[in-house]
Amino acid sequence: MYKINLKRFAQVVITIVLIIYVCYSAGFFSEAGRKEFTAILKDVNWTFIWLSLLVSFLQNLVSIRKWQLVVVAKKLSGGFMLLLQYLYISRLYNLILPSSMGGDVIRIYRLGKLNKSIERAAASVFVERFVGMLVLLVLAALSFAFMTQGDLKLFILSFAFVLVVTLGLGWAATDKRFVRVLEYLARKTNISFVHKVANKFEEFQNSIREVRKNRRFLSRLFAYSIVFYIFAIISVWVSALAFDQAVTLVDMIIAVPVIMLIMNLPVSIGGLGLMEASYTIAFELLGYSAELGLITALLMRAKAVLDGLIGGLFELRP
């Protein structure tokens, strides 16, 4: 209990520090900075705001199509519209729960309950997320090649963390030796819960192996992941255009993969402050103002809240 509270305390402190840093970078502590931020808000182009919402919706549709591809391959029940509801509901819990992984847990629970198999549902979400992370790592590595100025320590730390976690999870999800370790612990402790976990995880691994050797399926999944990130880049670009039409698509192609990579660091509560900091830093490195980075991040967060509210409507529906 003490460790859990200590971790939560550390996240609260880091969140507060990040928010202070973002406010300082955006000039909120000076009158000139506040005036510039206000001026950006006054000149907002609402056409791009609505276009940004449309692009985000299309990005959600691509995300669901990608997940549905895995669901069909696993022979699980769950049509496109039902999975779309699960996605929006997961966005709601991403806002409520302390970790962005909370939404994935909800997706697994809902799909597992529908199909009476948590293991196969978990495999579908894992495969979809794992392939997406591999594509993001490749895109982020390419972005680093074009970021030759500024302090890249945070970006490098994020890349190293996500790479290690992704490879670690990939090994645990596919290597039989991991299950043998769990089985060994189960025999040594003779605790029924550990035995159950070992058995469930073996079923989870078997479910992963069913699709791992299907090259046609994997190629399509990678293709959908690339399309997803194309929409993610366009979403940020159009959002930034709402406040400054000088923002270029090329710069966003460089910035967005790195921003999305940083947002995977589990250092703040629900990514609060971390998301805003990643935008301000990336925008400044590419020659834009921190104010523009922050207001773009706030618009992206507002769209996430909107998705959560839509998920709330689905959750309240009888």
pLDDT of residue 265: 75
Task: Return the closest-CA partner of residue 22 out of 236, 234, 271, 246.
Answer: 271
CA triple 103-105-106, angle to 5 deg: 65
Q: What tokens appear for 196 in the block? A: 């159950």
CA triple 133-276-223, angle to 5 deg: 25
Please answer whether residues 283 and 292 qualify as being in contact, where contact means their C-beta atoms are separated by less than 8 angstroms.
Answer: yes
In angstroms, the CA 296 to CA 302 distance is: 10
Q: Which residues of 241-254 are buried (b: 16+ CB within 10 A; e: fewer)?
A: bbbbeebeeebbbb
Which 8-state DSSP code applies to residue 269?
Answer: G
Q: What is the pLDDT along the chain (318 residues), one digit of tens a residue?
A: 444 567 667 767 777 887 787 877 777 777 777 777 787 777 889 999 999 999 999 999 999 999 999 998 888 898 999 999 999 999 988 887 655 667 888 899 999 999 988 888 888 888 899 899 999 999 988 887 776 665 667 677 778 888 888 888 888 888 888 878 877 787 777 777 777 777 777 788 787 877 777 788 889 999 999 999 999 999 999 999 999 999 999 999 989 998 888 887 777 776 777 888 889 888 988 888 888 999 999 999 999 999 999 999 998 876
In angstroms, the CA 257 to CA 229 distance is: 8
In angstroms, the CA 212 to CA 216 distance is: 10
In angstroms, the CA 162 to CA 139 distance is: 13
